[in-house]
Structure 1
Protein backbone atom coordinates (compact mmCIF):
# COMPACT_ATOMS: atom_id res chain seq x y z
CA UNK A 1 0.00 0.00 0.00
CA UNK A 2 1.43 3.35 -1.07
CA UNK A 3 0.51 6.70 0.45
CA UNK A 4 1.31 10.30 -0.38
CA UNK A 5 1.73 13.00 2.23
CA UNK A 6 1.16 16.41 0.68
CA UNK A 7 2.96 19.20 2.52
CA UNK A 8 4.28 22.63 1.61
CA UNK A 9 7.71 21.98 0.15
CA UNK A 10 6.82 18.90 -1.84
CA UNK A 11 5.15 15.52 -1.69
CA UNK A 12 6.35 12.71 0.56
CA UNK A 13 5.77 9.11 -0.49
CA UNK A 14 5.67 6.02 1.69
CA UNK A 15 4.95 2.30 1.60
CA UNK A 16 2.80 0.84 4.34
CA UNK A 17 3.24 -2.62 5.82
CA UNK A 18 0.51 -5.22 5.45
CA UNK A 19 -0.73 -5.43 9.05
CA UNK A 20 -4.02 -4.78 10.87
CA UNK A 21 -2.89 -1.35 12.09
CA UNK A 22 -1.84 -0.16 8.61
CA UNK A 23 -5.06 -1.45 7.05
CA UNK A 24 -7.05 0.41 9.73
CA UNK A 25 -5.01 3.56 8.98
CA UNK A 26 -5.81 3.35 5.25
CA UNK A 27 -9.53 3.12 6.05
CA UNK A 28 -9.28 6.64 7.57
CA UNK A 29 -7.74 8.17 4.42
CA UNK A 30 -7.81 10.76 3.07
CA UNK A 31 -7.06 12.81 6.19
CA UNK A 32 -5.76 16.23 7.05
CA UNK A 33 -3.46 16.51 10.07
CA UNK A 34 -1.15 18.97 11.76
CA UNK A 35 2.19 17.28 12.43
CA UNK A 36 4.01 18.74 15.43
CA UNK A 37 7.63 18.34 16.51
CA UNK A 38 8.23 15.90 19.34
CA UNK A 39 11.56 15.37 21.12
CA UNK A 40 13.53 16.64 18.07
CA UNK A 41 13.08 13.10 16.75
CA UNK A 42 9.67 12.79 15.17
CA UNK A 43 6.56 14.52 13.89
CA UNK A 44 3.36 13.48 15.64
CA UNK A 45 -0.38 14.03 15.40
CA UNK A 46 -3.37 12.51 17.16
CA UNK A 47 -5.42 10.44 14.71
CA UNK A 48 -9.18 10.92 14.31
CA UNK A 49 -9.73 7.33 15.56
CA UNK A 50 -7.33 4.90 17.25
CA UNK A 51 -5.98 2.09 15.09
CA UNK A 52 -6.33 -1.64 15.63
CA UNK A 53 -3.54 -3.17 17.70
CA UNK A 54 -4.60 -6.74 16.89
CA UNK A 55 -1.63 -8.95 16.18
CA UNK A 56 0.86 -6.13 16.86
CA UNK A 57 4.10 -6.75 18.75
CA UNK A 58 4.52 -5.20 22.21
CA UNK A 59 6.74 -2.49 20.69
CA UNK A 60 9.77 -1.94 18.44
CA UNK A 61 12.84 0.22 17.82
CA UNK A 62 12.10 2.85 15.14
CA UNK A 63 14.70 3.93 12.60
CA UNK A 64 14.88 7.00 10.37
CA UNK A 65 11.87 7.23 8.06
CA UNK A 66 9.57 4.89 9.99
CA UNK A 67 5.86 5.71 10.18
CA UNK A 68 4.29 4.32 13.34
CA UNK A 69 1.25 4.37 15.59
CA UNK A 70 1.84 5.01 19.29
CA UNK A 71 -1.11 3.18 20.82
CA UNK A 72 -0.94 4.67 24.37
CA UNK A 73 -1.51 8.20 23.01
CA UNK A 74 -3.42 7.32 19.82
CA UNK A 75 -1.01 9.26 17.64
CA UNK A 76 0.75 8.92 14.32
CA UNK A 77 4.53 9.26 14.53
CA UNK A 78 6.94 9.85 11.64
CA UNK A 79 10.55 9.48 12.72
CA UNK A 80 13.20 11.72 11.14
CA UNK A 81 15.80 10.39 13.61
CA UNK A 82 16.21 6.92 15.08
CA UNK A 83 14.92 6.25 18.59
CA UNK A 84 15.06 3.63 21.33
CA UNK A 85 12.76 0.65 21.75
CA UNK A 86 9.30 1.89 22.67
CA UNK A 87 6.55 -0.23 24.18
CA UNK A 88 3.20 0.40 22.49
CA UNK A 89 4.78 1.57 19.21
CA UNK A 90 3.47 -0.21 16.10
CA UNK A 91 5.20 0.09 12.74
CA UNK A 92 2.87 1.16 9.93
CA UNK A 93 5.43 1.61 7.15
CA UNK A 94 8.40 3.61 5.90
CA UNK A 95 8.99 6.83 3.97
CA UNK A 96 10.22 6.19 0.41
CA UNK A 97 11.07 9.77 -0.54
CA UNK A 98 10.77 13.31 0.78
CA UNK A 99 11.66 12.72 4.44
CA UNK A 100 13.70 15.94 4.46
CA UNK A 101 10.45 17.90 3.94
CA UNK A 102 8.99 16.41 7.13
CA UNK A 103 12.23 16.91 9.10
CA UNK A 104 11.93 20.70 8.96
CA UNK A 105 11.32 22.35 12.34
CA UNK A 106 7.85 23.54 13.26
CA UNK A 107 4.31 22.33 12.71
CA UNK A 108 3.28 21.13 9.26
CA UNK A 109 -0.21 20.94 7.75
CA UNK A 110 -0.45 17.74 5.72
CA UNK A 111 -2.97 15.77 3.70
CA UNK A 112 -2.44 12.01 3.54
CA UNK A 113 -3.97 10.02 0.68
CA UNK A 114 -3.82 6.48 -0.63
CA UNK A 115 -2.05 6.19 -3.98
CA UNK A 116 -3.47 3.80 -6.58
CA UNK A 117 -0.79 1.29 -7.47
Structure 2
Protein backbone atom coordinates (compact mmCIF):
# COMPACT_ATOMS: atom_id res chain seq x y z
CA UNK A 1 0.00 0.00 0.00
CA UNK A 2 2.82 2.43 0.91
CA UNK A 3 4.56 1.56 -2.34
CA UNK A 4 1.38 2.44 -4.30
CA UNK A 5 1.09 5.82 -2.54
CA UNK A 6 4.77 6.65 -3.15
CA UNK A 7 4.52 5.64 -6.82
CA UNK A 8 1.39 7.76 -7.25
CA UNK A 9 3.07 10.77 -5.62
CA UNK A 10 6.12 10.36 -7.85
CA UNK A 11 3.94 10.18 -10.95
CA UNK A 12 2.00 13.30 -9.92
CA UNK A 13 5.28 15.14 -9.20
CA UNK A 14 6.77 14.15 -12.56
CA UNK A 15 3.60 15.24 -14.34
CA UNK A 16 3.73 18.64 -12.62
CA UNK A 17 7.42 19.07 -13.47
CA UNK A 18 6.69 18.18 -17.11
CA UNK A 19 3.73 20.57 -17.23
CA UNK A 20 5.84 23.39 -15.79
CA UNK A 21 8.64 22.78 -18.29
CA UNK A 22 6.08 22.60 -21.11
CA UNK A 23 4.69 25.99 -19.98
CA UNK A 24 8.20 27.45 -20.07
CA UNK A 25 8.58 26.11 -23.59
CA UNK A 26 5.32 27.79 -24.55
CA UNK A 27 6.47 31.07 -23.02
CA UNK A 28 9.74 30.82 -24.93
CA UNK A 29 7.90 30.25 -28.20
CA UNK A 30 5.63 33.22 -27.52
CA UNK A 31 8.66 35.40 -26.83
CA UNK A 32 10.28 34.11 -30.00
CA UNK A 33 7.15 35.02 -32.00
CA UNK A 34 7.19 38.53 -30.50
CA UNK A 35 10.81 39.05 -31.48
CA UNK A 36 10.17 37.92 -35.06
CA UNK A 37 8.88 41.45 -35.67
CA UNK A 38 12.00 43.07 -34.26
CA UNK A 39 12.41 46.49 -35.83
CA UNK A 40 15.86 46.47 -37.37
CA UNK A 41 15.33 48.99 -40.15
CA UNK A 42 13.96 52.51 -39.80
CA UNK A 43 12.08 54.06 -42.69
CA UNK A 44 11.28 57.65 -43.63
CA UNK A 45 8.35 58.28 -45.97
CA UNK A 46 7.96 61.76 -47.45
CA UNK A 47 4.56 62.78 -48.82
CA UNK A 48 4.68 66.33 -50.13
CA UNK A 49 5.71 68.48 -47.16
CA UNK A 50 4.75 65.79 -44.61
CA UNK A 51 6.96 63.07 -43.21
CA UNK A 52 5.94 59.71 -41.80
CA UNK A 53 8.26 57.36 -39.96
CA UNK A 54 8.10 53.59 -39.89
CA UNK A 55 9.95 50.43 -39.04
CA UNK A 56 10.54 47.47 -41.30
CA UNK A 57 10.50 44.07 -39.62
CA UNK A 58 13.37 41.62 -39.86
CA UNK A 59 12.01 39.07 -42.33
CA UNK A 60 12.99 38.05 -45.89
CA UNK A 61 10.18 40.06 -47.50
CA UNK A 62 11.07 43.25 -45.62
CA UNK A 63 14.77 42.88 -46.36
CA UNK A 64 14.07 42.39 -50.06
CA UNK A 65 11.82 45.46 -50.13
CA UNK A 66 14.47 47.50 -48.28
CA UNK A 67 17.02 46.55 -50.95
CA UNK A 68 14.91 48.53 -53.47
CA UNK A 69 15.08 51.77 -51.48
CA UNK A 70 15.15 54.69 -51.92
CA UNK A 71 12.18 54.85 -54.25
CA UNK A 72 9.59 57.49 -55.13
CA UNK A 73 6.21 56.08 -56.14
CA UNK A 74 2.65 57.03 -56.89
CA UNK A 75 0.39 55.34 -54.33
CA UNK A 76 -3.19 54.77 -55.41
CA UNK A 77 -6.08 54.58 -52.99
CA UNK A 78 -7.64 51.16 -52.73
CA UNK A 79 -11.09 50.71 -51.21
CA UNK A 80 -10.76 53.79 -48.97
CA UNK A 81 -8.64 51.61 -46.67
CA UNK A 82 -5.11 51.47 -48.02
CA UNK A 83 -2.61 53.10 -50.34
CA UNK A 84 -0.90 50.74 -52.76
CA UNK A 85 1.89 50.69 -55.30
CA UNK A 86 3.63 48.11 -57.43
CA UNK A 87 7.40 47.83 -56.91
CA UNK A 88 9.69 47.69 -59.95
CA UNK A 89 10.18 43.94 -59.43
CA UNK A 90 8.62 41.09 -57.46
CA UNK A 91 9.39 41.08 -53.74
CA UNK A 92 10.48 37.85 -52.05
CA UNK A 93 7.83 35.84 -50.23
CA UNK A 94 10.33 33.35 -48.77
CA UNK A 95 9.23 31.91 -45.41
CA UNK A 96 6.12 34.12 -45.44
CA UNK A 97 3.01 33.18 -43.45
CA UNK A 98 -0.23 32.26 -45.24
CA UNK A 99 -1.88 35.58 -44.44
CA UNK A 100 -2.17 38.54 -42.10
CA UNK A 101 -4.83 40.63 -40.28
CA UNK A 102 -3.78 44.25 -40.88
CA UNK A 103 -4.60 47.26 -38.73
CA UNK A 104 -3.98 51.00 -39.08
CA UNK A 105 -0.34 51.69 -39.97
CA UNK A 106 0.61 48.23 -41.20
CA UNK A 107 2.88 48.06 -44.24
CA UNK A 108 2.38 44.85 -46.19
CA UNK A 109 3.00 42.99 -49.40
CA UNK A 110 -0.03 41.45 -51.08
CA UNK A 111 1.74 38.50 -52.69
CA UNK A 112 -0.97 37.47 -55.21
CA UNK A 113 -0.85 40.87 -56.94
CA UNK A 114 2.71 41.85 -55.97
CA UNK A 115 1.78 45.25 -54.54
CA UNK A 116 2.92 47.02 -51.40
CA UNK A 117 -0.09 48.10 -49.33
CA UNK A 118 -0.06 50.63 -46.51
CA UNK A 119 -3.23 50.47 -44.38
CA UNK A 120 -4.68 53.70 -43.01
CA UNK A 121 -7.84 51.89 -41.81
CA UNK A 122 -8.29 48.51 -40.14
CA UNK A 123 -9.03 45.56 -42.39
CA UNK A 124 -9.69 41.85 -41.91
CA UNK A 125 -7.49 38.82 -42.35
CA UNK A 126 -6.35 38.31 -45.94
CA UNK A 127 -4.63 35.27 -47.41
CA UNK A 128 -1.44 36.23 -49.21
CA UNK A 129 -0.90 39.40 -47.17
CA UNK A 130 2.58 39.61 -45.61
CA UNK A 131 3.44 42.05 -42.83
CA UNK A 132 6.68 43.91 -43.54
CA UNK A 133 6.50 46.94 -41.27
CA UNK A 134 4.52 49.52 -39.33
CA UNK A 135 4.06 53.30 -39.50
CA UNK A 136 5.19 54.77 -36.18
CA UNK A 137 4.15 58.37 -36.86
CA UNK A 138 2.44 60.40 -39.58
CA UNK A 139 -0.26 57.93 -40.67
CA UNK A 140 -2.62 60.86 -41.30
CA UNK A 141 -0.63 61.73 -44.45
CA UNK A 142 -2.02 58.57 -46.06
CA UNK A 143 -5.65 58.99 -45.00
CA UNK A 144 -6.48 61.37 -47.83
CA UNK A 145 -8.65 60.89 -50.91
CA UNK A 146 -7.02 59.89 -54.14
CA UNK A 147 -3.45 59.16 -55.08
CA UNK A 148 -0.32 60.48 -53.39
CA UNK A 149 3.36 60.57 -54.28
CA UNK A 150 5.60 59.12 -51.59
CA UNK A 151 9.35 58.73 -51.24
CA UNK A 152 10.45 55.69 -49.20
CA UNK A 153 14.01 55.72 -47.84
CA UNK A 154 15.96 53.96 -45.13
CA UNK A 155 17.21 56.05 -42.22
CA UNK A 156 20.77 55.27 -41.13
Question: Taking structure 2 as the reference length, what is the TM-score of the superposition?
Answer: 0.73
Task: Determine which of 98, 102, 108 is the counterpart of 1:68.
Answer: 108
Residue 110 of structure 1 deviates from its aligned partner by: 1.0
**1:63-82: per-residue Cα shift (whole Å, max 9, x none)?**
11000000111101000011
Residue 108 of structure 1 deviates from its aligned partner by: 0.4
Distance 1:48 1:12 in 2: 22
1:44-63 residue pairs with structure 2 within 5 A? 44-63=84-103
Gaps (5+ residues) in structure 1?
none
Name the structure where helix makes up a greater proportion of residues. Answer: 2
1:1-117 residue pairs with structure 2 within 5 A? 1-116=41-156
For this pair of structures, how many residues does the alignment match? 116
CA RMSD between the two structures: 0.7
Residue 9 of structure 1 deviates from its aligned partner by: 3.8
Structure 1 outlier segments of 4+, above 3 Å: none
Question: Taking structure 1 as the reference length, what is the TM-score of the superposition?
Answer: 0.97
Gaps (5+ residues) in structure 2?
1-40
